[in-house]
């Protein structure tokens, strides 16, 4: 049996370090697909990335820090996608803006699940300066969204915060759980078996209409 060639203990060049960091994030993401966050360990991530555990800690001090980096990556991808759609469609009305936000959100379930972790686990367990840096990064990334929106900056930011709250809430309510299949057997419990792609747009449109009407 031929054993795998071990990776070098330490990446040297900036390119190697960037690739090693990406390898770690991808390993964590693969594991998280099938493993609850609470059950996932840094040891497992190191094994999945084919790294020594000590090497992993050269990049991330804690599991929370690792997942905060993963969240930043996913959030950046969505905001870039949203910015591109805004630039292409150039919405003018609240309804147009709602349509762009709803369409841009499709396929980002992993981001929504990470946002749930942000409020329940990550912000409570990482160093305060990391949380502050994360929020500064988010504010910086939002500048391009603000530039493409037909509203004032303050109103745009308020809309984004409300969309964030709606996305997290509807993800939690509609996420499949071990009891979901059981609930479907009882018609009187059907009000609890909801679909994100159906309910989230209703809330987004109503919220944006209300916020812009008050502006």
Domain spanning 10-60: CATH 1.10.10.60:
yes
Rounded CA separation 203/195 (Å): 13
- CA–CA distances in Å: residue 43 to residues 65, 101, 121, 123, 193: 15, 38, 19, 22, 36
DSSP letter at 63 equals H
Rounded CA separation 65/178 (Å): 29
Please work out, in degrees rounded to the nearest 5, the angle formed at the alpha carbon of residue 144 by the alpha carbons of 109 and 146.
90
Intervals of the chain under pLDDT 70: 1-11, 191
| Residue 74 three-state SS | helix
Rounded CA separation 19/199 (Å): 39
Residue 11 is predicted with a pLDDT of 61
Residue 7 is predicted with a pLDDT of 53
* CATH classification for the domain delimited by 63-214, as one of 3.90.1200.10, 1.10.357.10, 1.10.4080.10, 1.10.1040.10: 1.10.357.10
């Amino acid at each position: 049996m031929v054993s795998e060639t071990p990776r070098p203990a330490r990446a040297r060049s900036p390119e190697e370090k960037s690739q090693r960091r990406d390898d770690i994030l991808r390993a964590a993401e693969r594991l998280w697909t099938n493993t609850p966050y609470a059950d996932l360990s840094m040891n497992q991530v190191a094994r999945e990335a084919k790294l020594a555990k000590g090497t992993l800690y050269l990049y991330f001090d804690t599991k929370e820090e690792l997942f905060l980096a993963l969240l930043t990556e996913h959030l950046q991808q969505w905001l870039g996608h949203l910015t591109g759609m805004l630039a292409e469609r150039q919405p003018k009305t609240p309804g147009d803006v709602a349509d762009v936000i709803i369409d841009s959100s499709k396929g980002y379930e992993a981001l929504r699940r990470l946002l749930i972790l942000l409020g329940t686990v990550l912000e409570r367990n990482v160093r305060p300066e990391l949380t502050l840096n994360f929020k500064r990064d988010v504010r910086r990334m939002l500048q391009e969204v603000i530039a493409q929106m037909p509203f004032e900056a303050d109103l745009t930011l308020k809309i984004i915060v409300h969309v964030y709250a709606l996305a997290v809430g509807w993800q939690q309510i509609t996420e499949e759980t071990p009891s979901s299949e059981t609930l479907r057997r009882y018609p009187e419990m059907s009000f609890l078996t909801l679909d994100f792609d159906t309910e989230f747009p209703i809330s987004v449109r109503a919220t944006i209409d209300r916020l812009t009407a008050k502006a």
